[in-house]
Each structure stands twice: as structure tokens, then as C-alpha cells.
Amino acid sequence: MKADFVLRGAGRLVTCAPGLGEGVLGVIENGALAASEGVVRWVGVESELKSLDFADAVTEIDAGGRAVVPGLIDCHTHLVFAGDRSEEFASRLAGRPYEAGGVRTTVEATRAASDDELARLAADRLGRFLSYGVTTIEAKSGYGLTPEHERRLLEIAARAAGPVEVVRTFMGAHVLPPEYADDPDGYVDLVCKGMIPSLGSLAEFADVWCDKGAFTVEQCRKILRAARAEGLSLKVHAEQLSHSGGATLAAEFGAVSADHLEFATEEDAMALARSKTIGALLPGASMMTGGRYAPARMLIENGVRVALSTDLNPGTSYTENLILMLALACTELKMTPEEAILGVTRHAAAALSREGKIGSLEPGAQCDFVPLDSKSELDLVYHYGVSPAMSVIKDGRIFTGPLADDAPL
Ligand code: NIG
Ligand code: FE
């Protein structure tokens, strides 16, 4: 292998591969990285770089002593939607509680929007993700709720991928659409027989919202069974507004992640730890609905690996700012900075079944990384809510910042 890409001058190369460096974040001081064809082939101390073979043309980046982290991952977003719910938000500030039924407002606006409009909105959102150093997101359907509209949202998500990679999740079981308000079983049947079997490669995961105002454990179980039979990996929106039984359901199915978990109990935590289901926590949704925060410490102490995400959506958390979630994770969920950073890197990759491929800098992983505008990865938490990225590199290509291909010299 001849390296065609080199990163040098990483004062702290935060590999998020614990065996490769110091501590749980696997930090290599004075680190360097070599890649070829967009894949990391080597990481180590810079002084050892010279022993590698290099191609004739090599792209070189010098991080100038800064900290470098893997491209960040947002493992739970509702990327494709139209309209906004600012009035609903304002009424919440005046004391009205958040309810699942609000989703239907967005379903109406999304159905009415053209493909072009939805694609433009998704592209704008992806641009903002990239600016925060995010190189991969997950995107759920769930604001269409008919076979045609759900497909359309997944197709738009697929086309929206650019520098930011988009992993697609089918979420026809978000809430009951208005047409089926009196026929929940009819809708569950439609999801199982009229949507899931025809998804093909449009989605890799299926997600269900198990909660009051959404779907019951029994309804979710049917949908998860149908999804599993089609080869989809599984996720569950669990224990968000009430203790619904979603977490143990996720464990029962060996779901890749159980998301939210605000009302999770110790029993839930033990079940998730046993099934190796990642707990994806979404503190922005708690902050913006005035709801409770997930019991992150309890989950971690029971052995659950925790990821963090924005939950980007118009109802509970309208933001692409994954960096702000790190601050909330540390201040509100009482996670350590190291746990929070793993939550948007290695553990978020695991929540997308991509551990070792993204979210870490190790041989075999995609060459996605972010030189920070700082000497320490701690600034991801401390300099909260602002973009930490000096530039963003995805698959060995430089996309934003002063080093970007199209940046003025
Ligand atoms: O993750 N919980 C389900 N879905 C979203 C909210 C969707 C909405 O209100 O539009 C969430 O918080
Ligand atoms: Fe969500």
C-alpha cells in the first residue's frame, strides 16, 4: 500500500480506538495518519511516518499542533421534513406539554412540499451538519406515513448525501396518520405489508416510536418482526414521554439502538446491556420540551454504551448542532467529556453498525477527520455550541475550512 494522503502535526490525534493510544480516547501525542483511497492505513507518532511508502502524488495536511478527532457522527435525525412548529414551541414555553400528535402538523406540511423543496431543505441541513464537523448522519423517514410518501422521503435522503454520508432508516411507525386515526391495526398492517416489504435498499434500519400517543409494545413488536424478516436492522424510540416498555422490546429484538430513554429504569438498562443495544441519548429534545433528561449515569453504570445525537426534527429538537449536545451531555446528563466524545464518535458508529469503519481513526476506517481549532479535544465541550472545525475531511477529501480544495489561497 502506498499512502496518497498524509496528516501530520496532530498535537493530539484522538483516535477513539483505545488500544492505539492513551486513555479511553486512544490519544496519540504528536500524531500522524496515512491513508490511501480514502481509507486509513496507518496511525502513529509523526516521527515514524518516514518509514512508510508514499505514492507519487500525496495530499498533505499539517494540523499545526492542533487536536484532530474523527469525523463526528449524528446517529439519530429526522432529516427530511417541511414546515416548522415554532408556534407549538411557543405554546410549550407558555406551559403546554409536548405531545406526540404534533408530528401530524409536520406530516401535512411535508406531504404538501415538492421533491425539490424537500431536497433543498435537506441539503441546507446537511451543510450545517458539515460545518459542525459531522461527516455521517442517520436520517429517518416518518413524516410521510403513506407508502408513497415514506418512499419519497427515503429517496430524497439518499440523493441528499454529499460530503455528509446519510444512513437511512424507515420510520413509517412514527405516529398514526390522520386517515387511520380510528384504525390503528389497519395502519400497522399497512406498515408491515404495504411498506416494509417494498423498501429494498432504500433503508438499512427500521425504527418505531413506542410511547403514549404513538404505538404500543404489541404494535411495535409486529412491525419489528416484519422489518427483521426483510433483513432490516432495528432501532426503537423508547421511554421518551413515559415508561412504555420500548427499551426491553429493543433488547428482546437485539436492536442496534434504543433511543431517548428518558424514563428508562435499571431493569431496562440491564436488558440493553445484555443485548449490546446502544443507548442513544438526545438531550436537546429534553431541553426543548422541558422534559426530563435521560439517566445517563445509571445506564453507563449498568454497562450500556451511550451515544449522543441532536434528534434533529421540527417538534422536539430543531438543531444540527451536535457540539451543543456534548455540553448538555456533560452538564445535564453528568457524562464525562471522554464519554461524551465517544458518544458522537465510536459509540455513534456502533449505533449505525459501523464501529471501526467510521467514528475512529484506525487502520481500515474511512479517512474522515476534523482538525479542531484548538489544541485539546476538551474544547468540543468547553467552547460549547460553536463549530470546532478548522476544516472537515471526508474520505480523504478536504471539504471545508481554510484547507479546503476550493478555499482561497
Ligand atoms: O425523536 N419521538 C419521536 N420523534 C421525534 C419528535 C418528532 C416530532 O415531534 O415531530 C423525537 O423527539
Ligand atoms: Fe427522534
Q: Are strands 257-260 and 278-281 parallel, antiparallel or unpaired?
A: parallel
Quick: pLDDT tens for 102-122.
999 999 999 999 999 999 999
77 within ligand 1 shell (Cβ under 6 A): no
Q: Ligand 1, from 310, 311, 325: best to mutate by most atoms within 8 Å of Cβ? A: 311
Closest to 370 (Cα-Cα) out of 163, 185, 146? 163
Instruction: State whether 190 and 138 are in the same domain.
Output: yes
- Backbone φ and ψ for 406, nearest 5 degrees, come out as -100, 10
Q: Is residue 229 part of a domain?
A: yes
The helix (run of H) or strand (run of E) holding residue 339 is: helix 337-343
CATH number at residue 154: 3.20.20.140
Q: Is residue 102 part of a domain?
A: yes
CATH number at residue 400: 2.30.40.10
Show which of 350, 374, 390 is a domain's final residue: 350
Instruction: State whether 54 and 82 are in the same domain.
Output: no
Instruction: State whether 236 and 372 are in the same domain.
Output: no
The atom number, within ligand 1, closest to the CA of 260 reads 1
The atom number, within ligand 1, closest to the CA of 314 reads 10
C-alpha cell at 235: 432501532
Which residue range is the domain that position 183 belongs to?
Answer: 72-350
Instruction: State whether 246 and 108 are in the same domain.
Output: yes
Instruction: State whether 123 and 193 are in the same domain.
Output: yes
Q: How far is the CA of 294 from the centre of ligand 2 (A)?
A: 14
Instruction: Give the pLDDT confidence score for residue 406 in this predicted structure.
Output: 60
Instruction: State whether 197 and 179 are in the same domain.
Output: yes
Residue 230 near residue 261 (C-beta atoms within 8 A): no
Q: Is residue 358 part of a domain?
A: no
Measured between alpha carbons, how far is residue 17 from residues 37, 129, 247, 362, 365 in Å? Answer: 21, 23, 28, 7, 11
Instruction: State whether 267 and 250 are in the same domain.
Output: yes
Instruction: Give the pLDDT confidence score for residue 405 in this predicted structure.
Output: 61
Query: What number of other Cβ atoms are within 10 A of residue 74's Cβ?
Result: 30
Instruction: State whether 293 and 159 are in the same domain.
Output: yes
Instruction: Give the pLDDT confidence score for residue 1 in this predicted structure.
Output: 80
Instruction: State whether 344 and 226 are in the same domain.
Output: yes
Instruction: Give the pLDDT confidence score for residue 238 in this predicted structure.
Output: 98
Q: Is residue 359 part of a domain?
A: no
Q: How far is the CA of 314 from the centre of ligand 1 (A)?
A: 8
Q: How far is the CA of 5 from the centre of ligand 2 (A)?
A: 37
Q: Is residue 287 part of a domain?
A: yes
Q: How far is the CA of 323 from the centre of ligand 1 (A)?
A: 20
d(Cα 245, Cα 208) in Å, to the nearest integer? 12
Three-state DSSP class for residue 396: coil
Instruction: State whether 309 and 286 are in the same domain.
Output: yes
Q: How far is the CA of 67 from the centre of ligand 1 (A)?
A: 34
Domain count, the chain: 2
Q: Is residue 360 part of a domain?
A: no
The atom number, within ligand 1, closest to the CA of 106 reads 10
Q: Ligand 1, from 235, 237, 316, 325: best to mutate by most atoms within 8 Å of Cβ? A: 316
What pTM does this model have? 0.97
| CA max distance for the chain | 69
d(Cα 49, Cα 125) in Å, to the nearest integer? 37
94 burial (CB, 10 Å; 0-12 / 13-18 / 19+) is exposed
Residue 214 near residue 179 (C-beta atoms within 8 A): no
d(Cα 348, Cα 136) in Å, to the nearest integer? 10
Q: Is residue 298 part of a domain?
A: yes
Instruction: State whether 300 and 402 are in the same domain.
Output: no
Instruction: State whether 89 and 63 are in the same domain.
Output: no
Nearest CA to ligand 1 atom 3: 209
Instruction: Give the pLDDT confidence score for residue 337 in this predicted structure.
Output: 98
Q: Is residue 392 part of a domain?
A: yes
Low-confidence ranges of the chain (pLDDT < 70): 403, 405-409
83, 86, 88, 90: CA torsion to nearest 10: -170
